[in-house]
Amino acid sequence: MGKTSDLTAVQKTIIDTLHKEGKTQKVIAKEAGCSQSSVSKHINRQAKGRKKCGRKKCTSSRDNRTLQRIVSTNPFKNVGEIHKEWTAAGVSASRTTTRRLMKDMGFRCRIPCVKPLLNMKQRKKRLAWAKDKKDWTDAEWSKVMFSDESKFCISFGNQGPRVWRKSGEAQNPRCMRSSVKFPPSVMVWGAMSSAGVGPLCFLRSRVNAAVYQEVLEHFMLPAADQLYGDADFTFQQDLAPAHSAKTTSTWFKDHGIPVLDWPANSPDLNPIENLWGIVKRRMQYARPNNAEELKTTIRATWALITPEQCHRLIESMPRRITAVIEAKGAPTKY
């Protein structure tokens, strides 16, 4: 062991400490568990204040700030476009250097989160709604039944598994994943509360007011009996045309079910959206061959949702509302 680069941080600390105490290099080498030449080289390097050898950086701090500004200004550009713009600013660096510096700056290439596009009027209504509900307790939110529809496809796009393969096996059928232009899909309606989830409804046709009222009659009411029994509850739904139709409002009045006022275009406030995400992530590696197998997989995955998971999601409502208030009505991370 003759190279100081082979010394561990602990060994270097021991050498420095014993050297300051005036110990001989022979004693220090024995205590640190290394050769005497390694001790000598480390002590000499420390005394001369030599820095680590290496190639000089090809970019200055100013160049790096320019790169960071380019990435921050338009984060959706790829590395090639960023490198082209950076070199056009007078920087001489390779594409590999560009990628490495971006990584050193903390930038990572990720799939972007999707948030609803809100106009100013919708933001003001969301903010007013959040301020009105900011004092609601967990007990009050536990009396709300949240509902929503979600689309499930046989193909889950980029969320599928990766494949281990050798060079030249890209076109090997064993290493390829099948895809179709218009994969079979199903639309599902579901409901949840802090007590758990209700039965799912697979929608066969376009949802209009009449179809939606059938869903309420045959799936929402049984879910309410299952989750609340004889206790009172408030129903939540978004502002889809079938939900806000006059005949649907009449249906709720006839059945004596209060409906929670809800701001438009606000999936980030609905905890069942997170529940759909949990179900889809669990189905990530499932490979149904047709729509019926897809439905079976969805039912089985939905049945694994526990009341504890639902309760935790319902408990997040105060935090969601606080986030909306702090964002002044803008979309939040939820």
pLDDT in tens, 14-41: 998 998 888 898 999 999 889 888 898 8
Is 205 in contact with 211 (CB distance < 8 Å)?
yes
What pLDDT is attached to residue 159? 47
Amino acid at 143: K
Angle value at C-alpha 132, between 128 and 137, nearest 5 degrees: 145
- Distance, CA of 217 to CA of 225 (rounded, Å): 12
Closest CA to 15 of 3, 33, 6, 1: 33
Low-confidence winner among 32-41, 76-85, 98-107, 176-185 (lowest mean pLDDT) = 176-185
Low-confidence winner among 160-164, 169-173, 323-327 (lowest mean pLDDT) = 160-164
What pLDDT is attached to residue 122? 92
Determine phi and psi for 188, rounding to 5 degrees: -125, 140
> 55-60 — which CB contacts under 8 Å span 24+ positions?
58/92, 58/93, 58/97, 59/91, 59/93, 59/97, 59/101
What pLDDT is attached to residue 292? 92
- The answer, yes or no, to whether residue 176 has pLDDT greater than 70, is no
**Mean pLDDT score, 243-269:** 96
Higher pLDDT, 76 or 313: 313
Is 227 in contact with 196 (CB distance < 8 Å)?
yes
What pLDDT is attached to residue 10? 87
Query: Model-level pTM?
Result: 0.66
In terms of C-beta density within 10 A (0-12 exposed, 13-18 middle, 19 or more buried), how is residue 119 classed? exposed
Alpha-carbon dihedral 22, 26, 28, 31, rounded to 10 degrees: -140
Determine phi and psi for 252, rounding to 5 degrees: -65, -40
- The answer, yes or no, to whether residue 137 has pLDDT greater than 90, is yes
Low-confidence winner among 40-44, 125-129, 149-153 (lowest mean pLDDT) = 40-44
Closest CA to 254 of 225, 297, 221, 226: 221
Report the relative pairing of strands 144-153 and 234-235 from DSSP bridges. parallel
Cα–Cα distance list, 72 to 46, 92, 104, 235, 330 (Å): 40, 20, 14, 42, 20
- For all residues of the chain together, what is the average pLDDT? 87
- The answer, yes or no, to whether residue 62 has pLDDT greater than 80, is yes
Length of the chain equals: 334
- The answer, yes or no, to whether residue 248 has pLDDT greater than 60, is yes
**Mean pLDDT score, 87-91:** 92
Q: How confident is the model at residue 157 (pLDDT cuts 50, 70, 90)?
A: very low
Angle value at C-alpha 287, between 282 and 289, nearest 5 degrees: 140
- Distance, CA of 313 to CA of 173 (rounded, Å): 42
Is 192 in contact with 141 (CB distance < 8 Å)?
no
